[in-house]
Amino acid sequence: METKSEVFFIIKRVVLVIFILLFFVGNTNAGEPLSKGETVYVSIYSNVYSGVKLHALELSGMLSIRNTDPKYSISIQKADYYDSKGKILERYIRQPLKLSPLESTHYLLKVSDKRGGPGAKFIVKWQSDHKVNQPIIEGIMLSTRAQQGISFICPGRIISEHNN
């Protein structure tokens, strides 16, 4: 008969194997569509409102673009920042930016940058010469005030495909 410590050790190993399997199965891109290019809409909140008096909480923002393909590069054609009314505020890319396999880039918006308002967004266009894993393109917002903090992520949404 096995002791309690031996049973506990066996349970720990089984749980570890299950977590490892879930990690690798859950993180595979198998079944996800490959693409040669897309235009992606990404929400960026420069402020959010809370409380009865609708107090504005100012946020810093970051656009993160991650090439998830381990074999091929992608080219970022544009990363344009728009305000709540759809007016372009800034073009962050003047010429195509190559991201090598698994390379990432980001663009920061300071807490003091209130130009975009609560409906700010980026439009990102990327392309590749090969069909590749779709990049991860997301907005990350963060604020720390006093001893409290808020952070959240907005995943990009594909608004058009470019598979030519």
Q: Could you read off the pLDDT of 91-137 as tens digits, one per residue?
A: 999 999 999 999 999 999 988 888 888 899 999 999 999 999 999 99
Query: Which domains does the chain carry?
Result: 34-161 (2.60.290)
Q: Is the pLDDT of residue 56 over 90?
A: no
Whole-number average pLDDT of the chain:
85
Burial of residue 74, with CB atoms counted within 10 A of its CB: 0-12 exposed, 13-18 middle, 19 or more buried: buried
The lowest-confidence range among 13-22, 86-95, 149-158 is 13-22
Provide the whole-model pTM: 0.77
pLDDT at 55: 77
**CA separation (Å) from 107 to 62, 104, 155?**
6, 11, 15
